[in-house]
Amino acid sequence: MNNYMYSSSAISTIGNSTEANLLQLLIPIEKNKALIEPAYKEFINPMLLRRMGKATKMSVVCALKCLKKVDVTNLNAIIVGTGLGAIADTEKFLTIASQQGEKILPPTSFIQSGHNTIAGQIALLLKNDSYNMTHVQQGLSFEYALKDAVLSVQEGAQLALVGAVDEYTPLLQNFAERLKLEESVKNQLLEGAAFFTLGGSPKKAIAKIKAVSISSFKSVRDTLIKELSKFDLRLEDLSLGFVGYNLAKATIKELPFKTINYTNYTGRFFSSSAVGLHLATHFLQHAETDPQYLAVINIASKNKLGLIIVERV
C-alpha cells in the first residue's frame, strides 16, 4: 500500500508547532483548555468568514495550510470525517425554528448546518469539482475518511486532501451530564481539526500510511496482533503508540512499546484521532531515535477500535 503523506496541519489545544520537542511541550488538558486558533482573516476573505461556522473555519484554514506545500492542480479528492458536523449551526437553526413556531425561517443556518458543508466549502474556495465526500461515523469518522482517501490514491488519485473536525458547544456538556458520563470524560470535552495530503509518490513525503483498520475488540493487545499481521507486522515492530479515548478507558496490558494518551492533551471529541495522527507524524519527523513504525490507536467505544500505522520514509 503506497500512500504517502506530504503535509499535515492541526488546530487544537497543542497548536500547530514545528518545534522538534513538541511532545515535551504538551500541557495536560486539565490545566489548559484553550484552543490555539490562527488569525482566520489571514486565510479567509472577511466577507466569507462572517458566514462560516467554527468547524468550517478550522477546516478551511487547516486545508489551506496543507495545500500550500503541494501542487493543488493535482487535487483529485476532498474527504472529511466528522462526528457532529457543524453542530453549532444545527443548534442555532433548531432554536430559531422553536422560537418562531416553525414558520418561514432564514435559510443560512440550515444550509450551514449540513455535515457536508465543510467539504463543500473547501471545494468552493479551491474551485475544485473532483470527488467530494463526508464520513459521519461517530468516533471512527476520521478512520473511515482516511480509508476512503487511501482507496482514492490506490485508484489513481494523484493527491487527496483528507481531514476531520468537530466543534464544541455547551450543549455537549449538558448531554454528558444527562448521560452520566465519568468526570474524566466531561472534563476533557473539547474540539479541534486536522488535515493531511496524501498521494502515491514518495517524493517529498513526510511519512507513509502503512495501514488503516477499523475493528471490534475485547482485548486491545489481541486485536493489535491480529490487525498488524494483515500487514506483515508484529507488536515488536512498533516504537510508540498514541492512544486516545472517546469514552471510558479500555485496559491496555503488556504492550512492548511506550504509549502516550493523546486525548489527555488534545481533549476528547469524535475526531480527535486526526490530531493524534498529526502528533504521531510530527514525532516521526523529529524523533532523536529512528522509529520505523508508530501507531495511532483510537478506542472509539467500549468495543470499537481504529488503528493507523505510520511508517518513516
- In the prediction, which pLDDT does 16 show? 55
Query: Which residue type occupies 124?
Result: L
Give the pLDDT band (50/70/90) at residue 274. very high
Q: Which residue has the higher pLDDT, 267 or 18?
A: 267
Answer yes or no: are the C-beta atoms of 295 and 259 closer than 8 Å. no
Helix, coil or strand: residue 262: coil
Domains 4-199 and 207-311 share a fold: yes
4-199 has which CATH code?
3.40.47.10
Q: With 0-12 CB in 10 A as exposed, 13-18 as middle and 19+ as buried, what is 170?
A: exposed
- In the prediction, which pLDDT does 286 show? 82
Phi, psi values for residue 71, rounded to 5°: -90, 105
Helix, coil or strand: residue 268: strand
Contacts of the segment 145-148: beta carbons below 8 A, 24+ positions apart: 145/79, 145/80, 145/81, 146/81, 146/209, 146/212, 146/277, 146/308, 147/212, 147/214, 148/77, 148/79
Answer yes or no: are the C-beta atoms of 112 and 56 closer than 8 Å. yes
Average pLDDT, rounded, for the chain: 88
Give the pLDDT band (50/70/90) at residue 228. very high
Q: Which residue has the higher pLDDT, 189 or 182?
A: 189
In the predicted model, is pLDDT for residue 81 greater than 80? yes
Phi-psi region at 297: left, alpha or beta (left = phi > 0; alpha = psi -120 to 50): beta
Task: Specify the DSSP element, H or E, that contains 275.
Answer: helix 272-286
The class that CATH gives domain 207-311 is alpha beta
> Quick check: pTM over 0.75?
yes
User: Average pLDDT, stretch 265-279?
Assistant: 94
Query: And the C-alpha cell for 230?
Result: 494483515
End-to-end CA distance of the chain: 14
- What's the sign of the alpha-carbon dihedral 162, 167, 173, 174? negative
Distances (CA, A) of 298 to 90, 107, 132, 215: 27, 37, 25, 11
- In the prediction, which pLDDT does 175 show? 83
In the predicted model, is pLDDT for residue 80 greater than 90? yes
Q: Which residue has the higher pLDDT, 233 or 187?
A: 233
User: Average pLDDT, stretch 14-22?
Assistant: 61
Q: Domain-by-domain residue ranges, the chain?
A: 4-199, 207-311
Tens-digit pLDDT profile for residues 94-123:
777 777 776 777 666 666 667 788 999 999
